[in-house]
Structure 1
Amino acid sequence: MATYDQKREDLSPGASTDEKVTVEQAETAVHKGTARDVAERGQIATDHYGRSLVQFDPAAEARLRLKIDLFTVPTVSLLYLFCFIDRANIGNAKLAGLERDLGLKGYDYNTVLSVFYISYILFEIPSNMACKWIGPGWFIPAISLAFGIVSVATAFVENIHQICGVRFVLGIFEAGMMPGIAYYLSRWYRKHELAFRLSLYIVMAPLAGAFGGLLASAILKLPNFGSLHEWRMIFAIEGIITCGLSVIGFFTLTDRPATAFWLTQEEKDLAIARVKSERVGATEVLDKLDTPKILRGIFSPATMVTSFIFLLNNITVQGLAFFAPTIVKTIYPKESVISQQLHTVPPYVVGGFFTVLLPFLSWRFNRRTIFFIISAPTVMAGYIMFLASTDPKVRYGATFIIASGAFSYGALCNAHVAANVVSDTAKSSAIGTDVMFGNIGGLISTWSFLPFDSPDYHIGNGLNLATSSTILIASIALLIWMKADNKRRDKINVEEKLAGLSQKQIQDLDWRHPGFRWKP
């Protein structure tokens, strides 16, 4: 640990008296070996070079981390599981007669899917701003309850106009779910810990494909659910389950460490201080909504490139979610509907395994872009198999390979944008931007597998080969740029750059702070 005098040398020559007092107070906390003073509002936890002013007991951190894992991850994971099921169950409903009963023809099904993404994209960033303003402990269960109700309403639609209407409303409420949970978890975890924790709820997307197929198969075995039959039962029953989980969420989710009833005061101080110790120039973990910081989060180079990568990846992920049942039907056309539903399950199980494995390795190695680069060729190989062969077994095998490479990007991309901004506000806007771009990819995916291209879907498979190839190129370029810019920043005199700036001006710099370094 650096001495008090050494820390004082990190003050900029132009620092104000108040700023010097703030640093001295933080240094006193270091000297005492506690995190309490640093955890308080108005105190800084790093020097101008981003080096932590506090050292933490690894054993105490491990105990705290496990406690946070147990109290936050299970609830958000279950809510996200049914969020994805309520979105993607339309693919299962299609196999069960939705198109026939609603009179959908030609491109009507693609239109229904697209309507969802229009509202989903438009409300992505506003939803995450609302999540920060209201507080995720209330916001996440509230929107979950809302889209559960909308899912139930889908069971009663009679034509294309009505189903387009409910899908548009579903998009409004689901828009805040993925970025909201990612932002929520960023309040609790260090940067290198975040990707793995994100994977523990994002894995629910591929598991929703697996569990959704099993659940749909079980529901379809029922003779009726009240007055509802066939595909209508899928929407109603799954929507009711979502509503029930949402009510539980109101009681189990805690906004932030400072209000967690299940943490002692010492644990609260440690939870706040360890997150704060990674934020150069920050005097508080939860800052107020601030336009400069919002823009810093959106327009960070790391956010822009990573969001573009997530856009390309989501063309594959969402395409599999919506069209896996259709693809399986072309591979096994003589099987029963229930058998076709069950054939969609195994690829998702494999995808779920890699969704957790790669972010876990990311946590251990504290790297993300290298896993972008490793995963892309796997997806490319799968689509090459689709394009090169018409053998059903080869094409079914390709779905396993694609799922193993594609699904991990959700956790990795959100963790990457969160790790490469500083303030809480910038994190919320960066994550919102990443997910917004991802869902533009989802919108594109709704038009990637077209009826006239059946059964081989050369257009859809060719498009996904192109996107995965572009991901590989963009990921390599991002890694090279981040390392080069870090070297450039190493040559900057931080004290000279910060001389004369107020603490507010320093905090508003965010990733433009000369002491900030990109985390590849």
Structure 2
Amino acid sequence: MMNPDTALPHEVDLVKKQELEHLEFGSKEQVSVVDPSTTNVLLETDDFGNEIVHIDQAASDRLRRKIDLHIVPILALQYLFAFIDRANIGNARIAGLEKDLKLTGNQYNILLSTLLNASFSFYVSYVIFEIPANLFTKWLGPGKAIPLFTVTFGILSLSCAFVNSYGAALAVRFLLGLAEAGLFPGIGYYFGRWYRREEITFRMGLYIACAPLAGGVGGLLASGILKIDGIGQVHSWQQIFLIEGIITTAIGIAAYILMADRPETARWLSPEEKKLAADRIKADQVGSTTLLEGINVRAIKEGIFATTTLVNGLMFMLNNITVTGVAFFAPTIVATIYPTKSTIQKQLYTVPPYIVGALCTCIFPYITTRVKRRGVVMLCTAPLVITGYIIFVSTTNSQARYGALFLILAGSPSFGAFTNGWAAINVASDTARAAALGCVVMMGNCGGLISIGNFLNLATNITVLGLTGYLLLFIRHNNKKRDAGNYDHHLVGVRPEEAYKLGNNHPGFRYKT
């Protein structure tokens, strides 16, 4: 049971209320009752008809927009430069990195794959670190942990400007991968402290859009930086790492000042808004008596081994083969298509496909907020990527292959938002969400282990399409079992204030499609 000395005020009030009330389980039909005196007031209940919280919907909408303005831009900016710092080695390659470091054979590819776990030692360390990194984020607080990650990989990216050998570059890129490991799942977890389940996927799309946008911004930055004659002893490709690393570090410092761990600690929210923010999340957590439970093994296992977590992790892994491959090799692909263009022109040619990708990564997740279905939208976007790879394998025409880049980048990056958002909303507790997102991102980054050709990229994206259909069928089947009362026995002998420990086994929990 919750300790009232350490609990937040609204948590103590909620537990006392539940201890005083005698809860009787009523209809198994999900109920949403609207006060007839106003359409702005929404009374939400769980699947047994018990009132959870009373929310003014108009005030909730205003608060959501305020939260958007305060937290989405700074998170998106951090992720933008994380991806720029990850992928700028592609820009540095065509600016002379290979020649200056005297790379031979497959050493450049190893530099890339070190960041993406392809060497065995790094693969093991990254896999081990991903989930603990997100639990560390929960323990320290995302308002502190996420900026810490950003500052760390900013400094490491800056350090890449001063490497003078293959071994030194390998070591720095290895550390850069570790520093970045906690950022992606940490941001997804952070959204869970501020947004309701149906709101998360679109917000994830807003910052994941920075992945394809990073390719465009990185190309523009690189082309601009390369026009500088030199900064002291730093020149050409070294300037790319130096300047972009300094920018990233500055953004991380600003984020530490601007970010709050949770609504209750946000200086820019009034007491009434803080309570409403907590109520909005509370209404979304069936059977729970606390917004932020302590870290515990039960919830960690629940988050990692949920079917929705594992299937989304597998889809993210297969999708990431495409996303990371395009991110690292787009400059090289463009250089192959347009071999007679100048270095700066080649950098600029990478920009338009990335802009289209960024727009689609916002548009497709936004559609899910309107239709309240993720899987159906995924079934519609996956064919874009499949079509792009069909073009790649069926023609050598440079214009057609350049057009295929647009299709691939229009469809693939949005799956990062879909899979992580879908996993985040289908676990019942704060700790389970942290573990689930750590697992999905860990599996997703394993996609960078695999460097494959166009035919296999085509096959992986067809597999993603099939897995999406499977997960939709699983969710619908499981929810029907809950509607039929097959999970009611889990509540027998359980006190109301302890019901949150049931997690996904709570009869009132429903998976979201």
Same fold at TM > 0.5: yes
Give the one of 192, 204, 214 matched to 1:198.
Answer: 204
Give the one of 476, 479, 486 matched to 1:486.
Answer: 479
> How many Å apart are 1:507 and its aligned residue?
2.0
What do the CA deviations read for 1:119-160 (whole angstroms, capped 9, x no partner)?
Answer: 444321111000000001111111111111001111111111
Give the structure 1 partner of residue 464 of structure 2. Answer: 471
Give the structure 2 partner of residue 108 of structure 1. Answer: 107
Give the structure 2 partner of residue 501 of structure 1. Answer: 494
- Native 8 Å contact 2:205 2:361 kept in 1: yes
- Aligned: 1:183 with 2:189: yes
Give the structure 2 partner of residue 70 of structure 1. Answer: 69
In 1, the alpha carbon distance for the partners of 2:489 and 2:466 equals 37
- Native 8 Å contact 2:427 2:433 kept in 1: yes
What do the CA deviations read for 1:237-256 (whole angstroms, capped 9, x no partner)?
Answer: 00000111111111100110
In 1, the alpha carbon distance for the partners of 2:304 and 2:399 equals 44
- Aligned: 1:462 with 2:455: yes
Give the one of 343, 346, 357 matched to 1:340.
Answer: 346
> How many Å apart are 1:117 and its aligned residue?
2.1
In structure 2, runs of 5+ residues without a counterpart are 1-14, 24-32, 37-43
- Aligned: 1:514 with 2:507: yes
In 1, the alpha carbon distance for the partners of 2:111 and 2:16 equals 61
**Partner amino acid, structure 2, of 1:108:** Q
What do the CA deviations read for 1:448-494 (whole angstroms, capped 9, x no partner)?
Answer: 3xxxxxxxxxxx11111011100111111111111011111111165
What do the CA deviations read for 1:361-415 (whole angstroms, capped 9, x no partner)?
Answer: 1111111111221111110000000000100000000000111110111111111
Give the structure 1 partner of residue 40 of structure 2. Answer: none
In 2, the alpha carbon distance for the partners of 1:59 and 1:515 equals 26
**Which contiguous aligned blocks of 4+ residues in structure 1 show a shift greater than 6 angstroms?**
30-33
> How many Å apart are 1:185 and its aligned residue?
1.1
Q: Which TM-score applies when normalising by structure 2?
A: 0.89
In structure 1, runs of 5+ residues without a counterpart are 1-15, 25-29, 34-44, 449-459
Superposition map of 1:53-92 within 5 A? 53-92=52-91
In 2, the alpha carbon distance for the partners of 1:23 and 1:144 equals 48
- Aligned: 1:213 with 2:212: no
- Native 8 Å contact 1:121 1:175 kept in 2: no
**Partner amino acid, structure 2, of 1:273:** D
- Native 8 Å contact 1:383 1:461 kept in 2: yes
**Partner amino acid, structure 1, of 2:443:** F
| Paired residues, number | 476
SS at match of 2:508: coil
In 2, the alpha carbon distance for the partners of 1:175 and 1:383 equals 29
- Native 8 Å contact 2:55 2:279 kept in 1: no
- Native 8 Å contact 2:53 2:283 kept in 1: yes
Give the structure 1 partner of residue 41 of structure 2. Answer: none
Give the structure 1 partner of residue 9 of structure 2. Answer: none
Give the structure 2 partner of residue 300 of structure 1. Answer: 306
**Partner amino acid, structure 2, of 1:347:** P
- Native 8 Å contact 2:481 2:487 kept in 1: no
Q: Which TM-score applies when normalising by structure 1?
A: 0.88
In 2, the alpha carbon distance for the partners of 1:31 and 1:499 equals 30
**Partner amino acid, structure 2, of 1:270:** L
**Partner amino acid, structure 1, of 2:438:** G
Give the one of 295, 320, 335 matched to 1:289.
Answer: 295
Give the structure 1 partner of residue 254 of structure 2. Answer: 248
Give the structure 2 partner of residue 375 of structure 1. Answer: 381
In 1, the alpha carbon distance for the partners of 2:48 and 2:353 equals 46
In 1, the alpha carbon distance for the partners of 2:397 and 2:35 equals 68
RMSD over aligned Cα, in angstroms?
A: 2.1
- Native 8 Å contact 2:490 2:502 kept in 1: no
In 2, the alpha carbon distance for the partners of 1:265 and 1:238 equals 39
In 2, the alpha carbon distance for the partners of 1:327 and 1:207 equals 17
SS at match of 1:55: strand
Relative to 1, partners in 2 of residues 1:31 and 1:438: Cα closer, same or farther, differing over 3 Å? closer
> How many Å apart are 1:501 and its aligned residue?
2.2
